[in-house]
Amino acid sequence: MSLKNFKKNGWIRPHTTSRQEIQDLLSIVTRDLQDAEVNEISADWRFGIAYNGALKLCTILLYTQGYRSGSGSHHMRTIATLPCIGDLRTQADADYLNTCRRKRNIIEYDYTGGVTDRDADELIAFTKALLEDLIHWLRSTYPGLA
């Protein structure tokens, strides 16, 4: 699906971003990655924090395209746009983050112990790699926002 189709369906809406907004979101990602690596907290919480960082990175990507999530299913829609933006990430990455979104919902709303330390470490590593890729992509594609 393309961003044009997402817009047509009302799943995203126009948004004008700024360098400051991007920098603010990147600072949240940096904080979240630091906090997620604290091993004295539960795997559930580490996973949730890393998920928040990954979601913010997807949000940044969507903002660079002049859009933000529309009403309803914000997380799901934002993640689903990931493979529509340049060649930065694939559908498999969006599928992985969507699986993480569902796990995060379980550990946030239903019960504890829904993820392992390995799950948390994997998501932290994914988020770090996405951050690195995004920064490189921003510098080369949108230097005014980097």
Q: Which 3 state secondary structure label does DSSP give 11?
A: coil
Q: Which residues contact 146 (CB under 8 A, 6 or more apart)?
A: 19, 22, 135, 138, 139
Contact 137, 129 (CB under 8 A): no
Contact 94, 83 (CB under 8 A): yes
Residue in 71, 64, 52, 57 with CA at minimum distance from that of residue 16: 64
The residues spanned by each domain of the chain are 17-141
pLDDT number for residue 90:
84
Average pLDDT of adjacent 10-residue blocks, the chain of 146 residues: 91 96 98 96 97 98 95 91 84 95 96 97 98 95 92
pLDDT number for residue 22:
98
For 19-125, strand residue ranges (E) read 67-69
pLDDT number for residue 104:
97
CATH topology (fold) of 17-141: Four Helix Bundle (Hemerythrin (Met), subunit A) (1.20.120)
DSSP string, 65-127: TTEEE-SS-HHHHHHHTGGGSTTS--HHHHHHHHHHHHHHHHHHHT-S--S-HHHHHHHHHHH
pLDDT number for residue 96:
97
